[in-house]
Amino acid sequence: MSLQKNFLRTLINNSHIVKVPLGNRSYPIYIGANLLKQIGSLCLTHNVARKIVIITDENVARHYLSLVKSSLEKKKFSVHTIVLPSGERQKSSATAEKIYTKLLEWNIERNSTIIALGGGVVGDLAGFIAATYQRGIGFIQIPTSLLAQVDSSVGGKVGINHPLAKNMIGAFYQPLFVLADTSVLKTLPKRELICGIGEVVKYGIILDKKFFSFIEQNLNKALSRDKKVLSHIIQRSCELKAYVVSRDEKEQNLRAILNFGHTIGHALERAGKFASLKHGEAILYGMIAETNIALESRMVSFADKERIECLIQQIPIPSLSSIRLRNADLFETMRKDKKVKDNSIRMTLPHAIGKISLPLNIDERLIDRALDYVKLYGV
């Protein structure tokens, strides 16, 4: 048996592979412990061209860049690296331009590949560069935050922010493969871990009652980074996201269900000036508020609404008391939401745990009451 076949067999035995079926843009997500050191062999298996540029941020670089780089160099890849400061501000046209300049200076050609090594910020930005440089070059995701492993690295949404609005400039651009090494979560700050848990809870509410029960039963283990629990959580979340994306890659209908909690969550995040609340924390509050609307609309039962609230209550997130929250300001943000149609604020709401609606126009009086509810809840 060839060395490559041997490698593949070992990899398959030691990791879980989730497939994202998108015709000729299909790709695997490899999930498992200690996989980073396999990146060189994996690139060989996927016939990745010899020139690779790794884009990462300084926090992730400190822990993992040398391991990834040496694994690639051992397999004779030529590797350039770009290390950015960490944070959302890097998802900008200014940073993108600096990166294009480096790629041109290094003579990076059309058949080269970009590896995003980092959280969702690096993944979105590096993916945008890969989608646009020379009209598209190879792209590999190595997500290192829980949020990136369960959400942003899967599905091909890449992009940068505009000073007036987040994620407004971008593309749908699928990676060649995703490598989610669960071992890297040991260095992830606790607050970032919680943000990822927020998206995981969302998958349970919108698509999978059994998974929701698993999270209920294993929340403390997940928060204390139990490897088995986190590994199952990542695998199931990727399966659920792959299911949605494969049916609606470009968000024409079904993919919108992934926005549950995001309309109100995003308004709260903005009210906190993107500092008081992180995205995942704001989404947890958003899900409380939007579930309340589902209850008042007689869509979800009181028992299911209580179960959702009870689970979220056990997740440590900052109080809302330090944020100036005026319903009028929150409405203003929501009206600018991408999902607004014919001036109506739209949301996807749960019918039950594991069952969600497509986007619906929502009566603003219900939103107003839900905002009052979540403000009290979050004190």
Ligand X SMILES: NC(=O)c1ccc[n+]([C@@H]2O[C@H](COP(=O)([O-])OP(=O)(O)OC[C@H]3O[C@@H](n4cnc5c(N)ncnc54)[C@H](O)[C@@H]3O)[C@@H](O)[C@H]2O)c1
Which C-beta is closer to ligand X: that of 157 or that of 305?
157
The answer to whether residue 266 is catalytic is yes
Catalytic residue among 59, 161, 259, 292: 259
Based on CB atoms, which residue is closest to ligand X, 165 or 358? 165
Catalytic annotation present for 13: no
Residues contacting residue 65 through CB under 8 Å, at least 6 positions apart: 54, 56, 81, 83, 117
- Strand 51-57, strand 78-84: pairing: parallel
Return the closest-CA partner of residue 251 out of 338, 363, 374.
338
User: Is residue 181 a contact residue for ligand X (CB under 6 A)?
Assistant: no
DSSP 3-state of 158: strand
| φ, ψ of residue 45 in degrees (nearest 5) | -60, -35
What span, in angstroms and rounded, lies between the C-alpha atoms of 334 and 372? 15
Distance CA 81, CA 83 (A): 6
Strands 27-32, 177-181: pairing is: parallel
Distance (Å, whole) CA 79 – CA 292: 51
- Is there binding between residue 36 and ligand X (CB under 6 A)? no
Tell me the window of 182-190, 243-251, 335-343, 347-355 that interacts with ligand X (CB under 6 A): 182-190
Answer yes or no: 199 catalytic.
yes
Residues 6+ apart with CB under 8 A from 87: 57, 121
| 101 contributes a contact to ligand X by CB under 6 A | no
CB-CB neighbours of 55 under 10 Å: 25
Based on the residue annotation, tell me whether 227 is a catalytic residue of this protein: no
- Residue 57 vs 304, nearer CB to ligand X: 57
Catalytic-role residue among 236, 279, 346, 375? 279
The CA-CA-CA angle for residues 224, 228, 232, to 5°, reads: 105
Distances (CA, A) of 11 to 35, 105, 239: 8, 36, 19
**Candidates 22-30, 87-95, 129-137, 230-238; binding stretch for ligand X (CB under 6 A):** 87-95
Catalytic residue (choose from 37, 88, 167, 251): 251
Q: Which stretch binds ligand X (CB under 6 A): 37-45, 59-67, 206-214, 332-340?
A: 59-67
**Residue 250 CB, nearest distance to ligand X (Å)?**
12
Q: Could you give the string, one character per residue 269-308, with x where binding to ligand X holds by CB under 6 A and - elsewhere? A: ----------x-----------------------------
Q: Which of 184, 215, 294, 347 binds ligand X (CB under 6 A)?
A: 184
Catalytic residue numbers read 135, 157, 199, 241, 251, 255, 259, 262, 266, 279
- Residues forming contacts to ligand X in the complex (CB under 6 A) are 57, 59-60, 63, 86-88, 91, 118-122, 124, 144-145, 147-148, 151-152, 155, 157, 167, 184, 187-188, 192, 195, 279
